[in-house]
């Protein structure tokens, strides 16, 4: 068995306290000893003087469902050793015989093509266990479940279909999925009545797993959306994780405080509730998110048919404008598929409108029609002050929410964890280092039931990230996101040093 000693670093155990000097002995894939001990003579020694030694980081909210299967390094170079995928209602299973609806639904988030899909959680997790880069945990996506039983149909499903969803969810949780996720702003999940969600949350509670939710609104409906999720957790008795909590749109920024109060009150009442957030004021998703979701009845084909009908298109544009709580100048095009529209990447919709001589909403529907619905966006959402409150809040863990695009990805894909430790701990002092490390190690491990990871403790898996606290940071920007971080020195996963 190979033995490695990490010598003379400042050890952070993941529980939130400040670091203390010491050594770590790794034997095979586990941590054997911590602190002061006599190192075995045959051990390989890695000098960690002046460096912080922490548990490997856990990215508890990622959309790399397909890329974790590839030999990619974007997360490893940030110190990430485990990812939780299957978020916001999108999972790569359960797939039925016809794979097209599931791919149409998730490809914009997965950066996928026409060749993926697993029948079950077990099948997917077996493939993911072979990941060359990270350990993978997965939630079952509500949208994916719904598509498996009813395709892209919206609205209330019949009793047999709901029973089938309950059965598929139960089977996935029994097969190793760590919880259930909803994406209540994305069709078809957005059309589900509350009693359907309650039944699925009950299945999740019975299995003792986690329910994570991209809620119905992060805009003016934020507080109602938080209340709805709390009510669900209260009725179903499940552990609740609110995904990427924030108030989107300048008019809505004051609502965040109320949302946090609701969460704290629910916690006080005994509901097992917490939330996660990413360390950026901008978010990113698919451009169809700015449309009323009924236009996605029937999936992408349904969308294209409606956009091709002038009367339908006018109605879509009217409703989009009436409901929009971003400014057009806050929404940037981050990826398109066609060669001829590459010039749109990096432009916001006000700029695109000017360039095309069309109203912003028309520039948007034109682009969606030209790209067959496949457009990604980056959107400036929230205030620095609100970001500080969520990052530093005792109930938050910190995530990337990152995903790949064929264009210009959000910099969080390349920089989340080093940015947290450098910019927000060292430079701005928003969090203590031990606290920040807790929010990306032990805390997410417990929220998502990831066992024997997330701590530096004997018997735990030897997922370890060694970094220079004086140098750790991310230079990735919105304009130039694909830049590797600085200051991450060594990453070990299951006892094995990872290449950067």
Nearer Cβ to Zn ion (283/434) = 283
188 prior amide bond cis, ω within 30: yes
CB of 164 to Zn ion, least distance (A): 25
Three-state secondary-structure class, residue 393: coil
Q: Which is nearer to Zn ion, 9 or 279 (CB)?
A: 279
Q: Strand 3-11 vs strand 20-27: parallel, antiparallel, or unpaired?
A: antiparallel
Q: What angle do CA 119, 190, 149 make, to 5 degrees?
A: 30
| Residue among 88 and 462 whose Cβ is closer to Zn ion | 88
Query: Judged by CB under 5 A, does residue 214 bind Zn ion?
Result: yes
If you count DSSP H runs as helices and E runs as strands, how many of each does the chain have, helices first?
A: 15, 19
Main-chain phi, psi angles of 360, to 5 degrees: -55, -45
Q: Shortest Cβ distance from residue 431 to Zn ion (Å)?
A: 23
Q: Would you say 88 or 177 has its CB closer to Zn ion?
A: 88
Binding of Zn ion at residue 63 (CB under 5 A)? no
Only one of the segments 39-47, 82-90, 187-195, 460-468 lies at the binding site for Zn ion (rule: CB under 5 A); that segment is 82-90
How would you class 480 by CB atoms within 10 Å of its CB: exposed for 0-12, middle for 13-18, buried for 19 or more?
Answer: exposed
Are 430 and 390 in contact by the 8 Å Cβ rule? The answer is no
Q: Which stretch binds Zn ion (CB under 5 A): 80-88, 170-178, 290-298, 330-338?
A: 80-88
CB 82 → Zn ion: shortest distance, Å?
19
Segment contacting Zn ion by CB under 5 A, of 212-220, 329-337, 376-384, 426-434: 212-220
Closest approach of Zn ion to the CB of residue 133, in Å: 22
Nearer to Zn ion, 68 or 184 (CB): 184
Range 261-283 burial, b when 16+ CB lie within 10 A, else e = ebbeebbeeebbbbbbbbbbebb
> By C-beta, is 62 or 465 nearer to Zn ion?
62
Q: Is 225 an interacting residue with respect to Zn ion (CB under 5 A)?
A: no
Stretch near Zn ion under the rule CB under 5 A, chosen from 41-49, 103-111, 213-221, 475-483:
213-221
Decide whether 184 or 420 has the Cβ nearer to Zn ion.
184
31-to-13, 44, 498 alpha-carbon distances in Å:
12, 14, 16
Binding part of the chain for Zn ion, among 11-19, 85-93, 263-271, 484-492 by CB under 5 A, reads: 85-93
Of 183 and 422, which CB lies nearer to Zn ion in the complex structure?
183
What is the closest distance, in whole angstroms, from the C-beta atom of residue 244 to Zn ion in the complex? Answer: 6
Q: Classify residue 157 as exposed, middle or buried by CB count within 10 Å of its CB (0-12, 13-18, 19+).
A: buried
CB of 174 to Zn ion, least distance (A): 25
Q: How far is the CB of 406 from Zn ion (least distance, A)?
A: 20
Nearest distance from C-beta of residue 66 to Zn ion, angstroms: 17
- Minimum CB separation of residue 214 from Zn ion in Å reads 4
Query: What are the DSSP E strand ranges found in 167-244?
Result: 179-183, 210-214, 239-242
84/88 with CB nearer Zn ion: 88
Region near Zn ion per CB under 5 A, out of 28-36, 214-222, 441-449, 472-480: 214-222
* Shorter beta-carbon distance to Zn ion: residue 88 or 178: 88
299 contacts 427 by C-beta, under 8 angstroms: no
Q: How far is the CB of 87 from Zn ion (least distance, A)?
A: 6
Rounded to the nearest whole angstrom, what is the least distance from the CB of residue 445 to Zn ion in the complex? 21
Give the residue among 325, 360, 321 at the shortest CA–CA distance from 249.
325
Is 88 an interacting residue with respect to Zn ion (CB under 5 A)? yes
Residues that contact Zn ion, how many (by CB under 5 A): 2
59/240 Cα distance (integer angstroms): 17
User: For residues 86 and 418, which CB has a smaller minimum distance to Zn ion in the complex?
Assistant: 86
Q: What is the dihedral of CA 295, 300, 306, 308, to 10 degrees?
A: 150
214 vs 393 by CB, closer to Zn ion:
214
Q: Which residues contact 57 (CB under 8 A, 6 or more apart)?
A: 78, 79, 80, 81, 82, 417, 440, 441, 465
Rg of the Cα trace of the chain? 22
Q: Of 394, 395, 387, 454, give the one whose Cα is nearest residue 423.
A: 387
Identify which of 93, 98, 89, 88 has the alpha carbon closest to the alpha carbon of residue 66.
93
Beta strands in 20-134 (DSSP E): 20-27, 30-35, 44-47, 52-55, 57-59, 80-85
Cβ–Cβ contacts within 10 Å for residue 206, how many? 13
Q: Cβ 268 to Zn ion, closest distance in Å? A: 26
> Contact region for Zn ion (CB under 5 A) — 23-31, 87-95, 303-311, 452-460?
87-95
Cβ proximity to Zn ion: between 365 and 386 the closer is 386
Torsion angle of C-alpha atoms 308, 314, 317, 322, degrees rounded to 10: -160
- Among 21-29, 88-96, 360-368, 443-451, which window interacts with Zn ion (CB under 5 A)? 88-96
Decide if residue 296 touches Zn ion (CB under 5 A). Answer: no
CB of 88 to Zn ion, least distance (A): 3
Of the candidates 135, 156, 147, the one whose C-alpha atom is nearest the C-alpha of residue 93 is 147
Helix (H, G, I), strand (E, B) or coil at 82: strand
Identify which range of 81-89, 150-158, 167-175, 295-303 contacts Zn ion by CB under 5 A: 81-89
Interface residues toward Zn ion, by CB under 5 A:
88, 214
């Amino acid at each position: 068995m190979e033995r490695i000693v990490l010598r003379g670093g400042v050890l952070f155990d993941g529980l939130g306290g400040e670091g203390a000097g010491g050594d770590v002995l790794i034997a095979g894939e586990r941590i054997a000893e911590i602190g002061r001990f006599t190192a075995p003579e045959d051990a390989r020694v890695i000098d960690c003087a002046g460096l912080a030694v922490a548990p490997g980081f856990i990215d508890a909210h990622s959309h790399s469902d397909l890329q974790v299967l590839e030999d990619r390094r974007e997360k490893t170079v940030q110190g990430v050793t485990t990812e939780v995928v299957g978020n916001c209602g999108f999972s790569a299973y359960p797939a039925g015989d016809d794979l097209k609806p599931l791919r149409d639904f998730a490809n914009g988030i997965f950066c996928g093509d026409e060749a993926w899909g697993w029948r079950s959680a077990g099948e997917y997790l077996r493939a993911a266990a072979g990941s060359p880069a990270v350990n993978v945990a997965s939630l079952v996506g509500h949208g994916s479940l719904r598509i498996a039983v009813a395709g892209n149909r919206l609205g209330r499903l019949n009793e047999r279909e709901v029973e089938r969803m309950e059965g598929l969810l139960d089977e996935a949780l029994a097969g190793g999925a760590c919880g259930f996720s909803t994406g209540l702003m994305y069709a078809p999940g957005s059309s589900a009545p509350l009693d359907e969600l309650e039944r699925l949350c009950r299945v999740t509670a019975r299995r003792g797993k986690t329910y994570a939710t991209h809620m119905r609104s992060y805009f003016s409906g934020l507080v109602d959306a938080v209340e709805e999720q709390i009510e669900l957790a209260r009725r179903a008795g499940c552990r609740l994780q609110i995904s990427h909590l924030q108030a989107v749109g300048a008019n809505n920024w004051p609502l965040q405080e109320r949302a946090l109060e609701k969460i704290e009150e629910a916690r006080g009442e005994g509901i097992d509730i917490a939330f996660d957030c990413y360390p950026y004021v901008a978010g990113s998703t698919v451009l169809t998110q700015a449309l009323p979701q009924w236009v996605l009845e029937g999936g992408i084909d349904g969308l294209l048919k409606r956009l091709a009908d002038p009367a339908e298109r006018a109605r879509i544009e009217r409703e989009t404008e009436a409901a929009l709580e971003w400014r057009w100048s806050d929404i940037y095009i981050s990826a398109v598929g066609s060669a001829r529209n590459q010039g749109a990447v990096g432009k916001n919709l006000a700029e695109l409108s000017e360039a095309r001589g069309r109203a912003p909403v028309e520039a948007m529907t034109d682009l969606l029609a030209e790209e067959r619905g496949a457009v990604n966006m980056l959107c400036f959402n929230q205030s620095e002050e609100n970001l500080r409150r969520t990052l530093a809040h005792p109930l938050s863990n910190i995530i990337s929410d990152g995903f790949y695009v064929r264009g210009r990805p959000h910099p969080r894909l390349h920089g989340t964890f080093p940015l947290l430790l450098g910019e927000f701990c060292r430079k701005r002092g928003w969090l203590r280092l031990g606290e920040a490390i807790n929010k990306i190690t032990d805390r997410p491990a417990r929220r998502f039931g990831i066992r024997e990871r997330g701590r530096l403790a004997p018997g735990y898996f030897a997922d370890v990230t060694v970094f220079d606290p004086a140098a750790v940071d991310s230079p990735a920007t919105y304009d130039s996101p694909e830049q590797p971080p600085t200051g991450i020195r060594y990453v070990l996963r299951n006892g094995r040093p990872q290449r950067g």
